[in-house]
Every structure is written in C-alpha cells, then in structure tokens.
C-alpha cells in the first residue's frame, strides 16, 4: 500500500507532457489557420472620435457607432472559465429558426473547430461557407486578434446572409458574434471588433 502514492505521482508525471503536447498542438493548429489568411485582408482601424466608448464591468472596452444596435453588454456576455461551452457547440440554433439575429457568446477551444461548428470551412486550402450557392464567396477580414467571416448559406433554397466574428479572449476563449438570416453591416461589425480591448479584470478572469 505504501507504493500507491508514489505510483500515482509517477502516473501524473507521465501524463503532464502529453497535456502540454496537446496544448501546443492546439496552439499550432490555430496559428496554421490564421496564417492561411492572406495578410492583405488585415484591417487596421482607428475609430472616429464621435464613436461612443463603452466600458463593461467584465473588463471589456469597445467603441460603438452612434445609433448602432450592435452592442455588447454584461448581461449577454458570459465569462471564460471551466463552464464556458466548447468551440464545437454552435451559436446558430438551427432547430429554433432559420433566421437568427446577432448573437454574442463565449466559446473555449480551437478557432478552426469554432468556425466549422458554425457553418464555415476554414483551413489552409479553402475558406468557404457550407451550402453556399455556386458563384458565391466568403469574405474574410482579419485584424489584431480578431477574425470576421461573412458569406451566404442556402436554407430551403433561399440564400441567407451568415456572419461569424471571433475575437481572441484571455484564458483560452473566443468572444464570438454571429448572425444568420439578418443583413448586418459587416464593415461596421468588423470595425467594432477591432476596437475591443480587454482590461485587467478580463485578463484576470478565472480559467
């Protein structure tokens, strides 16, 4: 019986490198996906002085255009912790409706899995939307830590606009905005994402 604690410690020690290796593999996958996006779609944006500055108690600050209904709030925004849903859980609740207004949520995990779960193909060879009509294309915008995809999907043979924006959040999560079936100004949404900043309270969010 005395050997049991030592055996447990040995098993934990052997398991640690595998956990670290898995983390490195996931990080490499994210870098590979992001590097596949051409650098000419990176948007550097300085918001106009007349944009409203919004500061949330969760440590998020962003700028919102006057009169814009695209807003983040403490009520709709969850934290990044062990309870955060994984990247494989889609934001688009297709069982509820084919039309889905702008949704804001937090997801933990790999960026490629996050996009795939929400209808986008994003890898080193193709960037597209599942079910898009022939001739349609998916637009990609990228900035510092954020990615915005916009395309069209065929639902009941009707082309519906679909938007997915992901912003890297401290603690291994992504702050995600998504919409399907609703025409949203993608430029404005991308610009707003580019203004988001995380303060000390966001960085200190529990794992």
195-204: per-residue pLDDT in tens? 898 887 776 5
User: Does residue 31 lie within any of the structural domains?
Assistant: no
Q: How far apart are CA 65 and CA 150, in angstroms?
A: 20
What is the token pair recorded at 196?
A: 């988001």
What is the token pair recorded at 28?
A: 């490499």
Residue 156's pLDDT is 73
What is the token pair recorded at 96?
A: 């509820």
> Residue 185 belongs to a domain with what CATH number?
3.40.1000
Can you tell me which residue has the tokens 């050997």?
A: 3
Q: pLDDT grade, residue 11 (50/70/90)?
A: very low
User: Does residue 172 lie within any of the structural domains?
Assistant: yes
Split into its structural domains, the chain has a count of: 1
User: Does residue 143 lie within any of the structural domains?
Assistant: yes
User: Does residue 72 lie within any of the structural domains?
Assistant: yes
The answer, yes or no, to whether residue 37 has pLDDT greater than 80, is no
User: Does residue 17 lie within any of the structural domains?
Assistant: no
CA atoms within 13 A on the CB side of 156: 5
Higher pLDDT, 179 or 74: 179
Domain that holds residue 59: 39-203
User: Does residue 177 lie within any of the structural domains?
Assistant: yes
Q: To the nearest whole percent, how much of the chain has pLDDT over 90? A: 14
User: Does residue 32 lie within any of the structural domains?
Assistant: no
pLDDT in tens, 99-129: 677 888 899 998 989 998 888 888 777 788 8
Higher pLDDT, 3 or 129: 129
Number of H helices, E strands in the chain: 4, 10
User: Does residue 11 lie within any of the structural domains?
Assistant: no
pTM score: 0.73
């Amino acid at each position: 019986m005395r050997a049991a604690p030592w055996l447990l410690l040995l098993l934990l020690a052997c398991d640690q490198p595998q956990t670290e290796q898995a983390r490195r593999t996931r990080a490499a996958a994210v870098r590979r996906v992001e590097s596949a996006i051409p650098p000419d779609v990176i948007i550097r944006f300085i918001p106009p002085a007349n944009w409203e500055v919004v500061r949330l108690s969760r440590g998020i600050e962003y700028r919102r255009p006057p009169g814009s209904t695209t807003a983040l709030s403490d009520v709709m925004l969850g934290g990044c912790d062990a309870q955060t849903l994984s990247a494989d859980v889609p934001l688009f609740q297709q069982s509820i409706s084919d039309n889905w207004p702008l949704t804001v949520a937090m997801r933990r995990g790999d960026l490629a899995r996050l996009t795939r779960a929400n209808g986008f193909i994003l890898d080193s060879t193709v960037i597209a939307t599942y079910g898009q009509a022939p001739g349609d294309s998916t637009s990609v915008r990228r900035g510092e830590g954020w990615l915005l995809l916009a395309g069209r999907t065929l639902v009941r043979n009707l082309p519906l606009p679909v938007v997915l924006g992901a912003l890297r959040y401290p603690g291994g999560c992504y702050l995600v905005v998504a919409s399907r079936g609703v025409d949203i100004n993608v430029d404005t949404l991308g610009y707003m994402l580019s203004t988001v900043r995380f303060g000390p309270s966001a960085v200190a969010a529990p794992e």
